[in-house]
Structure 1
Amino acid sequence: MAMHVEARLIGADVAKAELVIRQSWSSDVVKLSNERKAIDRYLKTLAGPVCLAVEATNVFHVLLVERAHALGHSIYVIDGLRLKRYRESIGGRAKTDASDAALLLRYLTHEKSDLRAWTPPPAGYATVQRLLRRRAVLVQAQTTLRQSLQCLPELKTSTRAMLAKMAHLQHLIDQRVQKALLHQGWNADARRCEGIEGIGPVTAAALTLIFHRGAFKSADAYIAFIGMDVRVRESGTFSGRRKLTKKGDPELRRLLYMAAMTACRSSTWKPFYERAMARGLTRIQALVALGRKLARIAFALLKNQSNYRAKAHQMA
């Protein structure tokens, strides 16, 4: 009879300078610097492949995740909000680096069968993602400054000059995005998405980037990754308000909403938008529904490597 081997699990709390680690086979807390030599030295002490859970951070977890994956370990990147709610559900009161590491270990122990292991993104993914995120920050800054300074007419000339420089910087980022897509061989996919009414080069680049991040089995999985799937709250005769899960990149959702604002004025998508409004949806809800529809069509085009036909989805 085959001997059952218990999985070796690790929870790692990641900060800019330090990693705090809890292991399923030891009660000791391991601390090490968040730098390559220290991480490699620790990983080499592990006997055989392990399962490692880390909380998603900005970029601080990336080095550990990449080095561990390269050595054949299974990696699970946990959403911070999900981890927070898990802590609350078990009555956790303390929040320290050590308790967070223990929480990650506990979460992995009980939820591993329902989690999907992390896989490295394709080459070039990080480059395009970084450019799009920096562009989003720039656009937000432009909007904030424009709204903040419009009440100061004495600074109108200086404000206009500053916004013009920011617009030029945005143009340079857009050019780099297009060059990166071309370098990765994703340019044709982005052009497919651009054929859809309302979707411009930046939104097309973001949709293409997400598509190449993973092997999505269906459009529903693609929509869920973006965070435009709907959370349903029902119990008995109670039917709660339905909201977006908003689990994915908020910038892509913003871009799709802006695309929907343009698309709803086109002859192709105006009937879809009007039917949504006729069902009692608010203007925002109708635009979100249209943005989700645009994303579904983009997924179909990318999945089938086909070109968009303008009137094909008018009555969908």
Structure 2
Amino acid sequence: MNQVPHEIGVDVSKDELVVATYGVGPVVRLANRRAAIRRWLRQLPTGCRIGLEATSIYHLPLAELAHAAGHCVYVLNPRQVARYLGSLRQRGKTDLLDAQGIARFVRNETDQVHPFTPSSPAQRGIASLIHRRHLLVKQRTALRQSCRGEPWLRQAVQPLLAEYRQLLAKLDAELEVLLAQVPGLAGQRQRLQSIAGIGPLVSLALSNRLSQTDYRRSDALVAAFGLDPRPRESGTYQGRRKLSKQGHPEDRRLIYLAAQGACRTGLWQAERTQWAARGLSKTAMNCIIARKLLRIAFAVWRSGKPFDPSLIGKQTCAGT
């Protein structure tokens, strides 16, 4: 067996995995079942680099088993992979071509991609319940708004809204149970709550994210939340910057809400006055504060010390 590590791309679906190795070997098709994955992994040389797209939960068996077998696994953003595959000018789109393109991505483009680290069941449960909590709150809000113009209907839905409140209370209680199952997470969450604007839910989501990925710099955390502005410049042309919006939209929504809450505390008033004088909109200013909150959270997480509000305003980082 060849002992040279390979760069491998895998196209994942619910029932099948299509595997392509960069530069060598035939394409392999195997069932997306743990037994079949284990048999295939035993045939690989040690230390392979394996890339696959995040596809709901269907990528998790391969990612977890490959990581346990000692391989370096990259769970890739589907939108980034789609753009990369489109740039290759392949003559069509098939599972085989996608697997080959992912193998090429692993070969050339993973220098700034965090390798996959398996989450504990409690960490996965926290992320899942936070997402489902958002869906419940969104549905409740839509129900309230749809009944606003009908007094009798607004009264009739009160029992249903009470059921929503009870369900959300049970969900929040379950989140606390899961939090207690992750060592050290409760203490870190409490320190994050010392940051103005970051409340119980945002601190839980943020601490759960930081506990799963070892970000080297605060800029990497900002980029993971999709809040990094992308410049559009060419020669004398200065285009409008837009957020990358990478990562999970619920995480981005929560930190944006935290920025709105931080604005109400008055800590950022001097900075907001400067930004308003430059013509920035409220949304742009909230995005700037959201980035600052993520950088502060990164520093609090790394240092293990609570937030010191006296540091706000000592350095002007407008637009960062």
**Offset at residue 14 of structure 1 (A):** 0.8
Structure 1 unpaired stretches of 5+: none
Tell me by how many angstroms 1:93 deviates: 4.8
Partner of 1:235: 234
Distance 1:181 1:272, change over 3 A: farther
Deviations 1:72-94, CA, capped at 9 Å, x for gaps: 11212221111111122122352
What is aligned with 1:136? 134
Matched ranges for 1:73-222 at <5 A:
73-113=71-111, 115-121=113-119, 124-184=122-182, 185-222=184-221
Q: Is the 8 A contact 2:5 2:45 kept in 1?
A: no
1:305 aligns with 2:267: no
Counterpart check, 1:67 vs 2:65: yes
User: Separation in 1 of the partners of 2:160 and 2:60?
Assistant: 35
Q: Deviations over 1:101-152 (max 9, x none)?
A: 1221222233345544323335632121112111122222223333334345
1:27-38, aligned counterparts within 5 Å? Answer: 27=26, 29-38=27-36
Specify every segment of 5 or more residues in structure 2 that has no aligned partner in the other structure, as ranges. Answer: 316-320
Distance of 1:187 and 1:117 partners within structure 2: 25
Aligned residue type for 2:274: R
Alpha-carbon distance between aligned partners in 2 of 1:120 and 1:44, rounded to the nearest angstrom: 20
Q: Is residue 45 of structure 1 aligned with residue 43 of structure 2?
A: yes
**Quick check: 1:263–1:270 contact (8 Å CA) kept in 2?**
no
Superposition pairs for residues 276-291 of structure 1, below 5 Å?
A: 276-291=275-290
The 1:267/1:110 distance shift into structure 2, 3 A limit, reads: closer
- Kept after mapping to 2: 8 A contact 1:273/1:287: no
Pairs aligned (count)? 312
2:260 aligned partner, one-letter code: M
- Contact 2:194–2:307 (8 Å) recurs in 1: yes
Closer/same/farther in 2, CA of residues 142 and 296 from structure 1, 3 Å limit: same
Give the Cα separation in 1 of the matches to 2:227 and 2:96.
34
SS in 1 for 2:290: helix
Are 1:251 and 2:258 matched, yes or no?
no
Q: d(CA) in 1 for partners of 2:7 and 2:277?
A: 52
What percent identity do the matched residue pairs reach? 36
Distance 1:311 1:62 in 2: 44
